[in-house]
Amino acid sequence: MTQNSKLKVRHLQFLECDGIGEDRGFHFKKKRRRDAPKVKDQSELPMPEELFLKYGNSPKQYANSGKRDSNILREALIRNGVDPEKGPGNILEFGCANARVLRWFCDWAYHGEAWGVDLNSPMVFWCHQNLSPPFHFAVSTTAPNLFFEDRFFSLVFCMSIFTHIDDLYLSWLAELRRVTKPGGFVYITVHDENTHRIQAEQNAPNLAKRTETTAYQEFLEQDSDFCSCGRDWKSLISFRREYLVDVLSSFFEVVEVVEGAMAGSQTAFLLRRL
Ligand SMILES: C[S@@+](CC[C@H](N)C(=O)[O-])C[C@H]1O[C@@H](n2cnc3c(N)ncnc32)[C@H](O)[C@@H]1O
């Protein structure tokens, strides 16, 4: 197995967070990797207390939402030649939060290195304490600069991350391409016209947040290609699909487009690094 021996942590960014010690210091106790028995399946992994962004109202619903989103990705990979038993090799979930989705890849994690990174340091540290092994975790930065060597991963996936990255989306696509092996896969989910249609039918709160903004009204009226409602990690980003396919095609081969893939409404793009 390839070891990520050149791993260099260039920047660690700790977000301001409440609840980790009154003086904003923090500590943790981590079990030793060598003492940990092999995990048979995700049901042996602890569930986080915080059901982040309410992908379900109970731990069971939360777990099932991750299973559903991961299965759509898994099936797309298998359709495109990935070994169902061993998986693709080294895996990265970019924007893993508390590993709602990554946890469903613990079978594949033993056939390579499986990493999760996110800006949200409390969640990453929870994962580091509770889900490692089999996974590896690290806090990443808002700057498009991951600390992995070139061409390290066979799969990089991003579940609802390009729905929040505003002006740096091109730079992030270039960075994800850099860390992916030629022939490897990148999977991203986005809001596009189909998402808006589904959300309108469901009267979803996300749509209401968008429609109230001038940027979104102008995006519709002026037939624009890209729209950011807000300017932080919670920005709601919309792409016109035709524009996005054009952009993605300059970095990757677009292998499949799957509608309703993430949380029932986001459109997924399975991409291959040439
Ligand atoms: C909508 S949540 C999705 C979380 C997770 N992928 C899931 O499906 O449960 C978006 C996540 O992206 C993370 N994020 C946003 N911008 C990021 C960036 N530039 N680098 C790393 N993580 C980012 C946020 O911290 C947040 O955890």
DSSP 193-241: HHHHHHHHHHT-HHHHHHHTSHHHHHHHHTT-SEEEESSSTT-EEEE-H
Q: Is residue 74 part of a domain?
A: yes
**CATH value at residue 86:** 3.40.50.150
- Give how many domains the chain has, as a whole number: 1
Instruction: Indicate whether 8 belongs to any domain.
Output: no
What's the Rg (C-alpha) of the chain? 18
| Cα 165 to ligand 1 centre (Å) | 9
Alpha-carbon torsion (145, 151, 153, 156), positive or negative: positive
CA of residue 142 to ligand 1 center, whole Å: 10
Residue with CA at minimum distance from ligand 1 atom 9:
100
Regarding the beta carbon of 97 and ligand 1, being less than 6 Å apart is answered: yes
Site to substitute for ligand 1 among 64, 65, 233, 234, most atoms within 8 A of C-beta: 233
**pLDDT bracket for residue 225 (50, 70, 90):** very high
Q: Using one digit for the tens of pLDDT, what is the confidence trace for 237-257?
A: 999 999 999 999 999 999 999
Q: Whose CA is nearest to atom 2 of ligand 1?
A: 160
| Residue at 25 is within a domain | no
Q: What is the domain extent for residue 126?
A: 46-272
- The single residue listed with the structure tokens 């340091």 is 121
Separation between Cα atoms, residue 140 and residue 247, nearest integer Å: 24
pTM metric for this prediction:
0.91
- Could you tell me if residue 27 is inside a domain? no
Residue % of the chain over a pLDDT of 90: 68
Residue 40 lies in a domain: no
Contact 7, 147 (CB under 8 A): yes
Element (H, E) at 78: helix 59-79
Structure-block tokens of residue 139: 């806090």
- Side-chain-facing half-sphere of 161: CA atoms under 13 Å: 27
- Judge whether 29 lies within some domain: no
The percentage of residues in the chain with a pLDDT greater than 70, rounded to a whole number, is 91
What is the rounded distance in angstroms from the CA atom of residue 114 to the CA atom of residue 131? Answer: 11
Q: Token pair for residue 72? A: 């759509």
Query: What pLDDT does 53 receive?
Result: 73
Query: What is the whole-number distance in angstroms between the Cα of residue 91 and the centre of ligand 1?
Result: 16
- Assess if residue 177 is contained within a domain: yes
Q: Do the domain assignments include residue 176?
A: yes
Q: Is the pLDDT of residue 207 over 90?
A: no
Q: What is the pLDDT of residue 209?
A: 82
Mean model confidence pLDDT for the chain: 88
Please compute the mean of the pLDDT values over residues 130-151 and round it to a whole number.
95
